[in-house]
């Protein structure tokens, strides 16, 4: 009987724990937090950036003559460095921004990228370079990306060793990002016309 009572109490505790959820995500509040983070960073670094209606801040580092407003269906070829704005931690990059156009390492159809890239990359012409200060809603939002750092503890005899392996590709939820992007070229999609026979 005691076992049954304990089991029922345990089951109810598990049920209520499972029903308890985090407070709902407030997108408007997060936008304000992100904007404040970006503005403070720009002020401290004495960077003059332009803000778009979506909340994206950008600085054109190298302007070139050529077609801007790349169609969303074009394939773009870029090099980039991505950092978390607050910690300045590098979380992703193609090789380096100094690589040549013959050594392209990143290409994708523009409309498959994060919202900040879809909006920001067409602001420069090919061979141009842009820096994007990205509120979380225009990147990964309220989601974690990648795997956080891993800590392992090993004990041999009386000696305990703790090792932390950082994860360069990990981005916590609601993180403001800083991208330095060089656009090399864009390419129209290849349209294959079906061959019909009579």
Residues near 89 by Cβ (< 8 Å), separated by ≥ 6?
A: 83
Categorize the per-residue pLDDT at 149 as very low, low, confident or very high, splitting at 50, 70 and 90: low
**pLDDT at residue 157, rounded to an integer:** 76
Quote the pLDDT of residue 165: 55
Most confidently modeled of 41-45, 73-77, 149-153, 167-171? 41-45
Q: Which of the pair, 188 or 191, is modelled with greater confidence?
A: 188
Does 25 have pLDDT greater than 90?
no
Is the separation of the CB atoms in 61 and 130 below 8 Å? Answer: yes
Question: DSSP 3-state assignment of 95?
Answer: coil
What is the C-alpha to C-alpha distance for residues 42 and 71, in angstroms, rounded to an integer? 30
Q: Can you give the pLDDT at residue 166? A: 53
160-188 pLDDT, tens digit per residue, is: 776 655 566 789 999 999 999 999 887 88
Distance CA 155, CA 161 (A): 6
Domains of the chain: 28-144+171-187 (3.10.50.40)
Note the pTM of the prediction, 2 decimals.
0.73
Whether the per-residue pLDDT at 194 is higher than 80: the answer is no
Mean pLDDT of 111-130: 93
Which residues touch 101 (CB under 8 Å, ≥6 apart)?
77, 127, 184, 185
The string over 167-183, giving b where at least 16 C-beta atoms fall within 10 Å of a residue's C-beta and e elsewhere, is eeebbeebbbbbbbbbb
What's the whole-number mean pLDDT along residues 55-70? 87
Buried-state track 20-33, b at ≥16 Cβ within 10 A, e below 16: eeeeeeeeeebbee
pLDDT of 151 above 70: no
Report pLDDT for 15. 47
Q: Compute the mean pLDDT over every residue in the chain, rounded to the nearest whole number.
A: 80
pLDDT at 52 over 50: yes
Q: Which pLDDT belongs to residue 91?
A: 86
pLDDT value at position 61? Answer: 94
């Amino acid at each position: 009987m005691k076992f049954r009572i304990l089991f029922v109490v345990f089951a109810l505790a598990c049920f209520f724990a499972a029903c308890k959820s985090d407070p709902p995500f407030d997108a408007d509040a997060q936008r304000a937090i992100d904007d404040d983070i970006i503005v403070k960073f720009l002020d401290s670094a004495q960077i003059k950036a332009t803000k778009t209606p979506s909340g994206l801040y950008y600085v054109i580092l190298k302007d070139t003559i050529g077609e801007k407003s790349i169609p969303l269906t074009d394939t773009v070829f870029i090099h980039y460095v991505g950092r978390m704005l607050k910690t300045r931690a590098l979380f992703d990059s193609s090789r380096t921004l100094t690589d040549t156009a013959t050594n392209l390492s990143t290409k994708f159809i523009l409309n498959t990228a994060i919202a900040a890239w879809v909006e920001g990359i067409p602001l420069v012409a090919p061979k141009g370079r842009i820096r994007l200060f990205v509120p979380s809603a225009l990147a990964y939002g309220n989601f974690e990306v990648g795997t956080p750092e891993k800590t392992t503890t090993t004990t041999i005899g009386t000696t305990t060793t703790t090792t932390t392996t950082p994860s360069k590709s990990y981005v916590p939820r609601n993180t403001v990002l800083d991208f330095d992007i060089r656009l090399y070229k864009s390419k129209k999609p290849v349209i294959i016309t079906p061959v019909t026979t009579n």
